A and B are shown apart, each in its own frame.
Chain A
């Protein structure tokens, strides 16, 4: 009788890999017992409700006073008023009239104190949940999300960064989690690099050259398959699948009225693309809105920038809520820091990290909650102080990741988040 398991384990892998992949790669042999069993597991995995994270990076340092924590009528308040929101008693800046109507979905942290006024270091802390240290490099939230939230056998990248411009490529933001979880960058919202076949390669050529390569691989790998070679083989299946699913990255396939609702400017388009991506199973998307580093003419700049941000962001939140995605999607609006309550000679505000705000919402975060407060002039946190490390824990807990656990990387135990900090439990429901 033919040995069942020798082929069984191969089928097992084939089955696992074939499961989501649409590729025509690899001949599946006789399905053995094991193959059957793991297929069931794979199906179960897919059925699990996948969690997602979307981060809006307000590049340069959004002023909390012109957004989430206005102090109208005070020495530090500036010219803008505060308006009521969909949460009774909660007021935010009048620059955000659309977002104000969505605040009942969101959770506002008003007592953020990160004590770091340097752009690079502040951004590092907010993205990794740790202070920068030369002796260690830490993965960004997107890499952690891709590792913990993305099904292993998905052919889509788990960590996407929509950059305002540039040609794309792979980011260097996964540290010890490895480049598999590094961001794939969509320069100005364009599809990932190399997903389009060069003009010279026709369907026919592509089919036969790939088939030749695959046959060669099958022969070579017979008798020496390891996890490593599986990953290699799978990368080509993934690439193939990604090319077939290239439309996922094409925001122009969204209905015209949605494009209209989000606004035809770049940021609107990026927000709509983010919606499209998470709807199609990508676990992490980061967008940037730039630039808030307003040392001069803070108010003019915020009037323009926040004005542009408001409608697409509010539309995004409303859509997620409408479509039932908000329960499984965490949204975070952060910066590297806030801006000084003090207004300088040039009507600007400078770097300020001692009392600022981060807006989040969705997944397991409390809805319509406000955590923390600053004093009347916004110069100090008087309640509910949190820092970058606590927020990082909280984001992960909100999407069901145990932030106090550790990754096992190559025989090393590496804590998921700063072990010296804890999640903000009261933000989690």
Chain B
């Protein structure tokens, strides 16, 4: 059986994937990941994925892509560039049965993997935003060290989410916030999109207008994590940098623009989880670093830290599912739910159970990116055949595929299931609505309490502030007293000393004066001390009062705080219930959406089947018409032949009739002549009879002669009459024949026009049926296109994903040998500058470290070449970077930019040089296609290459360059497939 036939056997099973799970979907537990108890030994993730997406396919073998193209796909996905010729050849020659799995492990360990995924993460997290605060290199170093060390991915996310960017080694981790300028709305939107897969931008000011399951409170819940965030300038050595500090502030109230006057407060909440209760932080002692000029504040209870902790707790399924979906989309070309930042109940997934399973597996692996990716590329879905078999089908095969199932029954059945799901969904919706209104009611109460708490906090802070002010005065007073006391001590000492001197020199007036002065000073100081002591006492009393005055508001605050806490307990219960009700409801919605899609697919299959039938019927009818047309044409030909014969006969007969008529006329004339002659004779006889004298003999003889002549004339006449009668009869006969012929002709002409009418009728029918056929062809074409699109979205045939600008540039540089050469040069440098000892040459770790070092250096050297591709092939800053576009200026660059063409030139022993130097064209073709496109050439391609290179055998190198350019700019190179 040839390959194509083999495919057909697989297609019917493959194309109805969705339906395999219909029965499962009916089970009440639609989400095994969330509901089933941990199984004892779960099969590996890749098998579970295959079981879900390819039900009943075990052992049947979905057409697996050939080894070489599969390896190209794998290299591009894991390390961003296609395999080199040597790598590919080694793999193909490797006899080990587990070589694919080995290769996956090897690639995941490589420095190239780290570099590729640094870029992938950078593009997802920063979307080519400008480096206003953190240089790209520092940011990539931060990502690189995480990826290289194998840090669990959620810990990387946590460090990004908790960052504030204060000067120090961790500053680059704050790039997510800093290069979004600390803007609260942008950060809320992008945290929602990038970390939780939900673009809530349109839910900022009201519930989302188009997506029912995006609520304003979802946006506000994320926003609440950032309500204290602010940009502040701090010193970093001798320069100033911006830092994303955090203040400890209360929830900012919000209201819907559609429901003005209803104020709400959202505490921090991430999608799918209940709110986080505010920590009880006594006013005035809630900062680790208090806000001040040039200082980035840091509260004791950082909201950002809470967010970071939530993501590492494993409880946040929205977080793990988002990243599972994003990693999946990088490997498969589109998300399980797509677009990846529009995860919501009505955006139906490939399979309703798939994302929960993936998310849980990612979380269970402790967010080990490598092991997760490994499972994805180990699936048979990933390794499936390349192109769409439906593209090559003809009507007969399609009909066969469609007829393998009773699609009309499918529609009825799936419609029933869907409607049932909708009914269930409606019930769940009601439950959800009920608990939501309960929550809304208690939220109103809580909002009042929170407002009271705010007021109490403000009052407490004011009292603390006042007390602090008095405290400052007390301190000043204490200082004044202490100063005075110090002075007094000195005076006391001096005075005592002078008194002693005075006793020794009793006569010395000056000494006496001095002693007296000192005593006076001492007295004054003592007096001042008393005053100061009194003042201090006053102040201290005032301070005590002020401090006491803090207590009542603080008590109020405590009461308010307890009130809030008590209310919060009630709230949390209902919140929990609401969250659960919402989850259940949305899962039902998602399932209903999925069922609806399946029903629609069945409907499309019916439409396809019907239109194929109709095409068949039209074609049959057209064929029938063709036969009839043939018959009519034959008949027409017969009639026309007959008519021609008749016309000839008529002409002949007419001629005969003319002759007969002539005959009649001739006889008539001769009879007239004969009659005339007889009349003359009779007249002559009559004249003779009138002669008076007796007839002489002569006369008698004449009379006799005349009579005889008359008798002769009579005889002649009678003869002529006889002949004339014959001629007349003949003429009548001819006339009769002619009339018959003309009658016959009329009959034939009539039958001719009848045939023509039949032909016209036939033509009209043909036109009608042809129109029907065209309509059916159009309908089936469109339907087939829709079915194909749906199947593509279900990963039923291999992906087709454009290389990212970086991937494209690096792939070009790699395939044309630049990377290899640059690495070799760096290795040579290193070996020359710091040669290895024999001992070191055995040190695997050292060798590996040198390999990484030289690879990174080589990349750095070549990086400049990549930037031009980024500006041409990359999407704009702040836009999603995964969307493909192709513009004329890209093609113009490929054609005329000179860059790709010059790279395609022969250089040391790169592919072009090899092709130019290989005499055997088949061998050269093999090198060319393996090196550039990662596969063997076909016979046609070898033939084409041969023709190409033989155009000018003396210019082999130039022609080789052209050919390599052609393949580098081809679709096959531009896409990962």
Contact = CB atoms under 8 A, between A and B. Distances in A.
Interface string B357-382: 00000000000000000000000000
A198 B962 contact: no
A291 interface: no
A418 B671 CA distance: 117
A135 B391 contact: no
B889 A231 contact: no
Contacts of B781: 5-6, 8-9, 12, 34
Contact of B895 (A6, A9, A179, A194): A194
A48 B666 CA distance: 84
A346 interface: no
A135 B774 contact: no
Interface residues of A, number: 73
B180 interface: yes
A338 interface: no
B615 interface: yes
B898 interface: yes
Interface stretch (A53-61, A209-217, A264-272, A368-376): A209-217
B394 A175 contact: no
A172 B876 contact: yes
A217 B970 contact: yes
Given A134-B180, A235-B890, A239-B892, A37 B391 contact: no
B608 to A, nearest CB: 10
B887 A133 contact: no
B290 interface: no
Contacts of A410: 339, 880, 883
A209 B955 CA distance: 14
Interface in A1-34: 1-6, 8-9, 12, 32-34
Interface in B341-362: 342, 347
Nearest to A217: B971
A210 B895 CA distance: 9
A406 to B, nearest CB: 10
A412 B199 contact: yes
Contacts of A135: 183, 185-186, 189, 201
Interface centre among B391, B897, B941 (most CB of A within 10 A): B391
A234 interface: yes
B166 interface: no
Contacts of B424: none
A233 B879 contact: no
Interface centre among B201, B387, B877 (most CB of A within 10 A): B387
B889 A184 contact: yes
B802 interface: yes
Contacts of B875: 178-179
Contacts of A220: 970-972
Interface centre among B189, B875, B891 (most CB of A within 10 A): B891
A103 B880 CA distance: 45
A6 B186 CA distance: 47
Contact of B876 (A1, A137, A192, A242): A137
A360 B413 CA distance: 61
Given A224-B388, A229-B800, A233-B971, A194 B792 contact: no
A192 B889 contact: yes
Contact of B884 (A9, A175, A231): A231
A225 to B, nearest CB: 7
B638 interface: no
Given A178-B875, A226-B800, A238-B891, A212 B962 contact: yes
Interface residues of B, number: 79
A257 to B, nearest CB: 33
B146 interface: no
Given A134-B186, A208-B962, A9 B892 contact: no
Contacts of A172: 876-877
Nearest to A232: B886
B201 A223 contact: no
B891 A239 contact: yes
Contacts of A176: 879
A224 B893 CA distance: 25
B696 interface: no
A127 to B, nearest CB: 15
Nearest to B398: A3
Given A212-B948, A239-B891, A411-B342, A179 B778 contact: no
A231 B885 contact: yes
Contact of A37 (B185, B778, B965, B975): B778
Nearest to A172: B876
A5 B896 contact: no
Given A220-B972, A224-B388, A5 B877 contact: no
Nearest to A173: B876
B972 A217 contact: yes
A349 B808 CA distance: 51
B872 interface: yes
Nearest to A196: B896
A192 to B, nearest CB: 7
A137 B778 contact: no
Contacts of A429: none
A133 B387 CA distance: 44
Interface string B856-886: 0000000000000001100111111001111
B896 A194 contact: yes
Interface centre among A12, A208, A224 (most CB of B within 10 A): A224
Contacts of B888: 155, 157, 235, 238-239, 242
A46 interface: no
Contact of B393 (A3, A180, A240, A411): A3
Interface string A233-258: 11110111011000000000000000
Interface in A156-170: 157, 169-170
B391 A2 contact: no
Given A179-B885, A224-B391, A33 B892 contact: no
Contacts of A411: 338-339, 342, 347
Contacts of B201: 135-136
A235 B778 contact: no
A200 to B, nearest CB: 8
A243 B892 contact: yes
Contacts of A108: none
B511 to A, nearest CB: 75
B896 A32 contact: no
A212 B965 CA distance: 10
A236 B893 CA distance: 10
Contact of A228 (B180, B784, B802, B951): B802
A423 to B, nearest CB: 21
A378 to B, nearest CB: 36
A313 to B, nearest CB: 29
Given A3-B395, A33-B777, A34-B778, A193 B889 contact: yes
A216 B387 contact: no
A32 B773 CA distance: 12
Given A6-B394, A216-B972, A242-B888, A134 B181 contact: yes
A193 B884 contact: no
Nearest to A223: B387
A74 interface: no
A155 B893 CA distance: 16
Nearest to B394: A3
List the 3 closest pairs (A to B, CB-CB), nearest first.
Answer: A239-B891, A223-B387, A5-B781
Given A3-B395, A182-B876, 7 more contacts: A4-B615, A134-B183, A194-B889, A213-B965, A216-B941, A238-B891, A242-B888
20 contacts: A3-B394, A3-B395, A5-B778, A170-B871, A178-B885, A179-B876, A192-B892, A197-B896, A205-B962, A213-B967, A213-B969, A216-B941, A216-B972, A217-B971, A231-B884, A231-B886, A234-B886, A239-B888, A239-B895, A413-B210
Interface of B: 180-181, 183, 185-186, 189, 199, 201, 210, 338-339, 342, 347, 386-389, 391-395, 398, 615, 619, 773-774, 777-778, 780-781, 784-785, 792, 800, 802, 871-872, 875-880, 883-898, 901, 938, 940-941, 944, 948, 951, 962-963, 965-967, 969-972, 974-975, 977
